[in-house]
Amino acid sequence: MSGDAAHANPITVTTLRKMKRNAEKIVCLTAYDASFAALLETAGVEVLLVGDSLGMVVQGRETTVPVSMDEMVYHSAAVARGRRRALLMADMPFMSYATPEQALRNAARLMQEGGAHMVKLEGGAIQVETVAQLTARGIPVCAHLGLQPQSVHRLGGYRVQGRDEGAARQMLQDAKSLQAAGADVLLVESIPTTLAAEITGAVDIPVIGIGAGADCDGQVLVLYDMLGITPGHRPKFARDFMLGQTSVRAAVESYVLAVKSGVFPATEHGFN
């Protein structure tokens, strides 16, 4: 993306739907502060996700569960001050949307105080009513299926989801139900590549994948995984784009090109 990015049309929900129709890949990365927001946007990233992953990669926690609403608002507002064109999506943290009424209050905070354009929440059929309540009141929603990090204790770890036929059928039905409820975007995490492709083809809304193969409408990675600086084990679906690069911007531009061209994710980054 050139230096004229700040003067280009902003990325909106309508933009993302058009990109899906035109088979143009959507590029997303997590961002947690103003400086990275500006750099990522300049390098061509179209969607900035203020992920509750900040609990792990910024705060050093073992899971995303302890992240608070105040912390999400703080980081979202920081990213909002650094972006000019990219769409800003912010995670609803653990137990901030246990009821539709609670979800409305907290989503309003993310948009009014945090500058978010869209909120993301985890869960399938159980979230249909909440999604309907939010979207009916003008709040764009990204629904999150597959591996749901906020449920890691119930899942028994970070495990691939949807491998058995029953779970796969349920996930496909959940995707359709969430779309019918008004969800604007769907994010699928750590599911078999074939299932992700089926879901992507079955819904009209954009599907962004992470550990879900190359057939999704777009891709997202945790920024620190993409730069190869996350301590400890790197997920199978991640790739270190800093290798062979001389700057962070060059690494991000390499990621953008790899997603746009279909080079990333490769077969080795997906699950059967």
| Given 41, 46, 122, 189, the catalytic residue | 189
One-letter amino acid at 33 equals D
Cα–Cα distance list, 216 to 25, 114, 180, 189, 240 (Å)? 8, 28, 19, 11, 20
Tokens matching residue 208: 């962004």
Residue 102 contacts by C-beta under 8 Å, 6 or more apart in sequence? 96
Residue 225 host element (H or E):
helix 223-226
Tokens matching residue 133: 């309540």
Q: Give 87's strand partners.
A: 47
* Cβ atoms 120, 141 nearer than 8 A: yes
Q: How many helices (H) and strands (E) does the chain have?
A: 11, 8
* Cβ atoms 252, 39 nearer than 8 A: yes
Tokens matching residue 198: 């089926």
**267 three-class SS:** helix
198 is catalytic: no
Catalytic residues: 189
